[in-house]
């Protein structure tokens, strides 16, 4: 029955058995050392995830690894100066995550040295551990080992002239143009800085999606029933005259809005546009309260 339950819930049964054995071993150690019996209780991830993550960090601190700047370069096991790569079956691969710091349980030696059972370590924990003298690291030396990706664009004189084809011999006009361009560029810079994109992990458009921000960093994972973007529809004569500012005033009470887009050339007059919130919780609250009102 346990195996059937794991299959129905898309869970690796072998991994669950390993977790059960580890938990039983920890409980036996606590009972033997402290003389008291601790009851096994399941708690919400918000209560235990960070505590467990810190515990694993301190336990496997000697297996601390630093990212070398590229997926093919992998990680450097700091204490052993050994190069390892993320195991292909790791969840970090499917989520597209390559954190700067990780701790690992062991190294699997096959065609390459692969890191097994990885725990992500935030940068601030590294600095705290160094202040508490729990570890000594030469951060500058480690940074020098990183591979830096450089994008080079070769632009010749002819191409440059074709792209930058508007210019002014009058200094006064040049200053005016410069002010206009600077304002526009600054607006675009702010827009792209906070821009996020939802990408499906499978061919099904309504399946699991990852939210990617500037720099291709994954900031959230959305299940099939979760969302951050709301499509605004309604009776044309009521919503057509609504501006972006009007919609922001209506929806900003539910949380931070990162993008508002009005469909100006849509053939369907019932569709006003869409609003994207900073996180899924704000979007869900907006839907619930707008339905109630």
Inter-residue contact 5 to 13 (CB < 8 Å): no
Beta-carbon count within 10 A of 280 CB: 19
Inter-residue contact 104 to 84 (CB < 8 Å): yes
Inter-residue contact 228 to 211 (CB < 8 Å): yes
pLDDT tens string 175-205: 777 777 787 777 777 767 767 777 787 766 6
Around 53, how many Cα atoms within 13 Å sit in the side-chain half-sphere? 14
Q: Which residues pair with 115 in a beta bridge?
A: 86, 107
pLDDT at site 74: 93
* pTM exceeding 0.85: no
Chain mean pLDDT for the chain: 83
Inter-residue contact 170 to 177 (CB < 8 Å): no
Rounded-to-integer distance, Cα 192 and Cα 100, Å: 24
Phi, psi at 113, each rounded to 5°: -90, 115
Share of the chain above pLDDT 70, in %: 87
pLDDT tens string 69-102: 988 899 999 998 899 999 988 888 888 889 999 9
pLDDT at site 109: 92
């Amino acid at each position: 029955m346990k195996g059937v339950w794991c299959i129905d819930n898309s869970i690796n049964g072998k991994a669950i058995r390993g977790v059960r054995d580890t938990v039983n071993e920890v409980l036996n150690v606590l009972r033997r050392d402290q003389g008291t019996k601790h009851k096994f209780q399941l708690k919400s991830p918000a209560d235990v995830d960070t505590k467990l993550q810190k515990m694993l960090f301190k336990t496997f601190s000697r297996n601390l690894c630093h990212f070398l700047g590229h997926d093919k370069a992998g990680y450097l096991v700091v204490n052993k100066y050994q190069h390892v790569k993320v195991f292909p079956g790791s969840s970090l691969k499917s989520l597209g995550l390559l954190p700067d710091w990780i701790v690992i349980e062991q190294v699997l030696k096959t065609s390459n040295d692969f890191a097994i059972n990885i725990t992500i370590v935030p940068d601030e924990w590294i600095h705290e551990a160094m202040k508490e003298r729990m570890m000594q690291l030469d951060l500058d030396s480690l940074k020098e080992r990183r591979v830096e990706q450089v994008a080079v664009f070769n632009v010749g004189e002819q191409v440059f002239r074709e792209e930058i084809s508007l210019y002014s011999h009058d200094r006064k006009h040049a200053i005016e143009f410069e002010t206009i361009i600077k304002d526009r560029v600054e607006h675009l810079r702010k827009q792209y800085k906070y821009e996020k994109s939802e990408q499906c992990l499978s061919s099904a458009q309504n399946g699991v999606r990852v939210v990617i921000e500037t720099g291709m960093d994954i900031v959230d994972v959305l299940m099939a029933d979760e969302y951050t973007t709301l499509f605004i529809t309604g009776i044309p004569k009521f919503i057509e005259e609504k501006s972006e500012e009007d919609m922001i005033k209506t929806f900003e009470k539910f949380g931070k809005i990162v993008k508002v887009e009005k469909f100006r050339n849509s053939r369907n007059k019932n569709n006003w546009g869409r609003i994207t919130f900073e996180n899924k919780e704000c979007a869900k609250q907006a839907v619930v309260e707008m339905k109630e009102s």
